[in-house]
Amino acid sequence: MLEIHDTLKGDHGWDIVAIHMAVDEVMESSRLSYPYLGDDDWSAGRILYSECIVTDGDEVVGAGRLIWDVERDNAIPRIQDFCLMRAYRSSFVVDSMISSLIDGYAEDAAGGTTVLSHDGQEIDISERVERLRDIAAGQFEPRVI
């Protein structure tokens, strides 16, 4: 079964070294994100807002991160290190991964309400940020079906 896991929330009981090795393998063969200058420079000014991995059973088949380089001029939060094995690439899975990453960022959204997607497109998340703020303040009643 295909699952998206938020790696920054909760203890999943994974072997961290094995997960990182599996993500590195998927990244090498199945990267979808644009490489940005300085992606490998994890300075003190870089904030990791959200991170996810996608698994099919025990196999890692995808991953992604949403980061913001606070110290870079005009830097907006962006999705990087985004990868997904070809057999799992569908608009539904890609959109679900992006949504998961954006939700993790939108809870704080200190870098603004625009996010760069893995393919360089700007995404306006202002409605999502507002909705999450309303829910946190108790001003929004979730829909019950």
Q: What is the pLDDT of residues 62-77, one digit of tens each?
A: 999 999 988 877 889 9
Residue 80: φ, ψ to 5° = -140, 170
In a domain, 79, yes or no: yes
- Total of domains in the chain: 1
Per the domain annotation, does 74 fall within a domain? yes
DSSP 20-41: HHHHHHHHHHHB-SPP-TTTT-
Whether residue 141 is contained in a domain is answered as no
C-alpha–C-alpha distance, residues 47 and 53, integer Å? 18
Q: What is the pTM of this model?
A: 0.84
Q: Please say whether the beta carbons of 102 and 51 come within 8 A.
A: no
Contact 105, 9 (CB under 8 A): no
Closest alpha carbon to 4 in 79, 56, 66: 56
Nearest alpha carbon to residue 132 among 114, 93, 95, 105? 105
Domain coverage including residue 29: 2-136
Dump pLDDT digits (tens) for 85-128. Answer: 999 999 999 999 999 999 999 988 999 999 999 998 999 999 98
CATH number of the domain within which 42 lies: 3.40.630
Determine which of 18-22, 69-73, 138-142 has the lowest per-residue pLDDT on average.
138-142
- Domain membership flag for residue 144: no
